Chains A and B, each alone.
Chain A
Amino acid sequence: DAGVIQSPRHEVTEMGQEVTLRCKPISGHDYLFWYRQTMMRGLELLIYFNNNVPIDDSGMPEDRFSAKMPNASFSTLKIQPSEPRDSAVYFCASSSRPGQNYGYTFGSGTRLTVV
């Protein structure tokens, strides 16, 4: 398995533009997570899905952020409109087997810079 695949690896965009980050989880993993990492706030959970259904989106900063998981092999995190304070590394992670402690497999992250 190629692991969790995120694209793009780097994204630079202008303030006000729409940004879409993409994630392909490991096949067979029932859970998918979106985290954001910044120097100031560390790693924060934005949202997570179970069987393609959003379970907890309490970490989504505001209405400018939205996430979807149309099928078991694909998820997107969209920011519209983007702002400079959204600059961060965004990680996608997946996991499996509810009740068993397997930890997460992370993707390599997308570094987003909003100028």
Chain B
Amino acid sequence: AQTVTQSQPEMSVQEAETVTLSCTYDTSESDYYLFWYKQPPSRQMILVIRQEAYKQQNATENRFSVNFQKAAKSFSLKISDSQLGDAAMYFCAYQFSGTYKYIFGTGTRLKVLA
């Protein structure tokens, strides 16, 4: 069965610095999608970035980028120039190929220090 593991329950970063959140997953599929979602205190889940497994190029969205290592089954999120508004829970998610069914990791709480 597919699993998603986020081994860092909590991380802290100084404002304007860079932080990397880790995510590993286990699957026997070759075609799938990976996502990072942000959940601020307002509770709503917000899509941060997505990666298709068949693409070797790492996805980038402004200050957010991923390091996708398919062989290692690793999908880390790098946040550059951290801002106070980045403080939130971050969830890694795996999407089964051919469906929209997700498995979420347990989340990493990111604190941004002024």
Contact = CB atoms under 8 A, between A and B. Distances in A.
Interface of A: 31, 33, 42-43, 45, 48, 55-56, 89, 91, 93, 95, 98-99, 101, 103-109, 111
Contacts of A104: 45, 47, 100, 102
Nearest to B91: A43
Interface of B: 33, 35, 37, 42-47, 50, 52, 91, 95, 98-102, 104-107
B106 A42 contact: yes
Nearest to A50: B100
Secondary structure call for the A interface = strand
Contacts of A106: 37, 44-46
Contacts of B107: 42
A103 B44 contact: no
B101 A48 contact: yes
Contact of A108 (B44, B50, B102, B105): B44
Contacts of A108: 42-44
Contact of A45 (B43, B91, B98, B102): B102
A106 to B, nearest CB: 4
